[in-house]
Every structure is written in structure tokens, then in C-alpha cells.
Structure 1
Amino acid sequence: MNRQIIRTDNAPSSPLYSQGVRAGSTIYVSGTVGIDPATGALAGSSIQDQTRQALRNCEAILHAGDATLADVALVTVLLAHPDDFAGMNEAYAEVFGQILPARAVARLGPDLGGIRVSVMMTAHTDG
């Protein structure tokens, strides 16, 4: 199967992994945190701020792969602090509204210095 690496300057990146990968009609978005790519800093200290930014970053990666949030079938959310669940849900609902992909929430393993959430997605497109 042909794989296409997806890259955008509109989301945080790392030399250690691809922001996204398209394999056929499936797009895999790597775990993405709430860092503002314009500043390189966290979008804020609250779980809501970081969740909104992480979702914007994932959306930018999807767009770079010619997909949208409407194409997302599965979202995995990793929380540094389980007590942030309600606040994450608040911001998540603002972004997804009625689109409602399948979702899993688990605990983020490593302590990443102020990072409260990481979001990864799987999307399916016609192309």
C-alpha cells in the first residue's frame, strides 16, 4: 500500500515522527498537543485552552491531507490528569458538536512539563 507523509507548518512537528500519514483512504494523525505553532508555546494552562489548540492542530494536519473533521472516525484523547476529563469534554464538544466520531480517553504516560492533553485521530476519505 502506498503511504503519503502529511506535513504542515500549521501544527507542531518533531523530527521523531510524522504529523500524519495517509495510507489509501485512511489518514492517521499523530498524538498532537496544545502548542500554538505560531509561537511554539502552549496555547494556555487550562485543559480547555490546550484541548481546543490540540484539536485545531489535528484539524490543520487533516486539511494538509485533504480531509476535514467530518472525515474523522476515531479520536483518542490522552489526559495527563484524569480530573481534567470534564474540562476536556467541554472544549471537545465545542469543536465536534454533532459530528461525534468514536472516541477513547486514557491517561497520558509521560510527564511532559505543562502539557495536559494529547489528541490523535483516524479519518477516512474517498480519496
Structure 2
Amino acid sequence: MLKTLYALFLIIIFSASCESQSKPDNNAKTPKLSAKEASSRQVIKTDQAPNPVGPYNQAIKVANTLYLAGQIGLDPESGKMVNSDIEEEARQVMENLKAVLAEADMDMSHVVKSTIYMTDLNNFTRVNEIYAGYFGEDAPARVTVGVASLPKDAQLEISMIAVK
């Protein structure tokens, strides 16, 4: 009988715990956007960065947040890959991203999140050195992911989110 009561007690405690974890925190502070801000969606495009290689845009701005599509090391003028070495490719990727940011009246200081895709994580340190040069001590949050392949045989692709 005591074991049965103890088991029921544990079930009640567990159920209450699960229920309290699944309820939204009504005290959480969520920034409120006006209806106009929430519905604004602006396509950002510049000829200072390469044209997309698929059905997507260089960036989309919603309110004060810019979502930048991944950039690879394409030269915007020639349309050819800049990839004689990983450092050169990384510089071109970062310059492409800077150009898209500039078109949205932003710069690297507005970037809050980056995602880096690399086909060879052995190049991590070399890419990291180039990447760090664009941010200094105020680098955004970041994820680096190893992938099997990227468009145009790129070794590197970086996407970003920026907030102004």
C-alpha cells in the first residue's frame, strides 16, 4: 500500500512539473512591433554582390532585422569563383556580405548571428583568421558546420542575421 501511494505521489509530482514547463511565460518581455513593422518585407539586392545562384534573394529585411542569404566566393563582376586558396575565398565571401549589408544601410557591427558552412573543417583556423578581421573583439554569435559540398564547388558559405 505504501509503495502504491508513493508511486501515485511521484506521478502527480511529475505531471505537475511537466505541466508547468509547458505553459508559456506570460511575464516574458517580447518586443512589440507595430502592424506596419510586422508586415514589412523588403527585398535587398545589390550589384556589388553576386546574383543568387538559385530562386532566392541576397537578403530580406523585416522591420529592423536583415536576413542575409549565404554568400560564396563569387566575384560579382566576373561571376567566377575566387578560390585560388581558402583565405582568398573567405575574403570574397566577407566582401560580398559587406556589400549586401551596405545596401541595407548596415555594416558588420549590426551582425548578431553568422552561420558558416565549410567543406573541409581542416581550414577552420585559416577561415577564422579572415573572419575575425572583419569583426575584431565584437564578433556575433556563430555556428560552423561541416558539409559535403556547396554550390559552384565553393569551400565556404556564410549566412548572417543583422539587426539595426
What TM-score, normalized by structure 2, do the two folds share?
Answer: 0.72
2:44 is aligned to 6
Structure 1 unaligned residues grouped into runs of 5+: none
Q: Counterparts of 1:1-127 in structure 2 under 5 Å?
A: 1-14=39-52, 15-125=54-164
**Aligned partner of residue 42 in structure 1, secondary structure:** coil
Q: CA contact under 8 A between 1:51 and 1:117: conserved in structure 2?
A: yes
**Higher mean Cα deviation, 37-46 or 23-32?**
37-46
Q: CA contact under 8 A between 2:150 and 2:157: conserved in structure 1?
A: no
CA distance in 1 between partners of 2:83 and 2:149 (Å): 19
Q: CA contact under 8 A between 1:77 and 1:104: conserved in structure 2?
A: yes
Q: How many residues align structurally?
A: 125
CA distance in 2 between partners of 1:84 and 1:40 (Å): 24
Question: Percent sequence identity over matched residues?
Answer: 30
What TM-score, normalized by structure 1, do the two folds share?
Answer: 0.91
CA distance in 1 between partners of 2:135 and 2:56 (Å): 26
Detail structure 1 runs of 4+ shifted over 4 Å in the superposition: none
What residue identity is the alignment partner of 2:48?
N
- The structure in which a higher percent of residues are helix is 2
Larger Rg: 2
2:6 is aligned to none
Structure 2 unaligned residues grouped into runs of 5+: 1-38
Q: 1:46 to 1:6 in 2, by over 3 A?
A: same
CA distance in 1 between partners of 2:155 and 2:83 (Å): 10
